Amino acid sequence: MSNLLSGLEALGLGGVSDMEVYEDVETKAKREKKENAEVEQHEKTEIDYLFEKTHTCPVCDEEFKSSAVRTGKAKLIGTDTDLRPRYQGIDPLKYDVIVCPRCGYAGVNRFFTTITTPQAKLVMEQISKKFNAVLKLDGVYSYDDAILFHRLALASAVVKRGKLSERAYTCLKTAWLLRAKQEDPVTEEKDKAALHAQELEFLSNAYDGFNEAMSKENYPICGMDENTMFCMLADIGRRVGHYDEAARLISRVIVSRNASERIKNKAREIKELIVEDMGKANK
C-alpha cells in the first residue's frame, strides 16, 4: 500500500511513503502495549499515585486534607519476612498516618478514628495544648516526614492509652520506614548504622507489645490471625536477637493443623533464617 502515499518525497517526507495505511490486529496490539509500557515507565512519578483525602479529626472536629495513595494504583512486588510490603513506584507506608494539623492528634489509618471521649480529652490536655507545629500534609512525603508523623502517632497512642496492639503496630510500621530509609539511594552511608539501630529499637518495642497483646486481646489482632502473628513475631524476634523464643513461635506454626500450606512454607523459610542467624551469633 506504499503507493497510496507516494509523491510525498517532494515534501521531504520520504520515510512516510513506506508506512502501512492499516495495521493488522496483532501489530496494533503489540504497538499499543509497548507505548503504554513506555508511558507507565517514563512518566509515572510518586505524585501520580496520590490524591488529597478529606478527614475529620475525632478530637477537635477539624476538617482537613492530607496526601493518600489511590486505591489499586500501587503494585505490590513482594514482602519482607516480617510482612513489610514493598511496592513499585511508591512506598504507601509513608502515607499511612493521618495527622490533624490543628490539634496534633495522629494515628495509623486503621486506628485514627478509634478514640473515645475520655481518650480525646487526654490528647487535648497532653498534646493539643502544646502543639504549635506547621505541617505540610499535601504532596509527596519524604521518609523523614513519614517517620516524624509515625512518632506523633505513637505519642498519641500512648497518651490516649490505646490498645497494646495499636502501640505495637505503630512501632512496627515506624521500623519499616526506618528500614526503607536505609535502602533509599539518597541516604548517605554514614547515616545507615544509626537508622538501623533505631529500626531495631522500634522492632524490639513492637515485639514486646504484640507479645503482651496476644495474651490480652482477641484475634484478629491488627488484621492478623494467630498463625500470621506467630510468623511475624518469630521473624521480628530473629531480627532483635530473641532466637530461642523465635524458634518456639515458628515451630507452633509448622505443626499447626489450622495453618495453610502457604503460611507453613513461609514459616519454614523463617526457621532457616533463625537457625542461620543463631549460628552466626554463637560463633
Residue 138 · residue 65 · CB < 8 Å: yes
CA–CA distance, 239 with 22 (Å, rounded to integer) = 60
pLDDT at 33: 72
Q: Predicted confidence band at 255 (pLDDT cuts at 50, 70, 90)? A: very high
pLDDT tens-digit series, residues 88-99: 999 999 999 999
Residue bearing cell 493443623: 257
Average pLDDT over residues 147-165: 96
Distances (CA, A) of 205 to 7, 96, 120, 138: 77, 19, 24, 30
CA–CA distance, 109 with 116 (Å, rounded to integer) = 16
pLDDT at 283: 78
DSSP 141: P
DSSP codes, 52-84 = EEEEE-TTT--EEEEEEEPTTTSEEEEE-TT--
Residue 138 · residue 128 · CB < 8 Å: no
Average pLDDT over residues 252-256: 96
User: What percentage of the chain has pLDDT greater than the value 90?
Assistant: 80
Domain boundaries, the chain: 1-43, 48-218, 225-283
Distances (CA, A) of 15 to 27, 34, 253: 19, 22, 66
pLDDT at 115: 96
pLDDT at 7: 73
Average pLDDT over residues 229-252: 97
Q: Among 249, 200, 203, which residue's Cα sits nearest to residue 227?
A: 249
Mean confidence (pLDDT) of the chain: 91
Residue bearing cell 519454614: 268
Q: Among 85, 114, 91, 35, which residue's Cα sits nearest to residue 232?
A: 85
Average pLDDT over residues 175-191: 96
Neighbours of 6 (CB within 10 A): 10
Residue 99 backbone dihedrals phi, psi, to 5 degrees: -125, 125
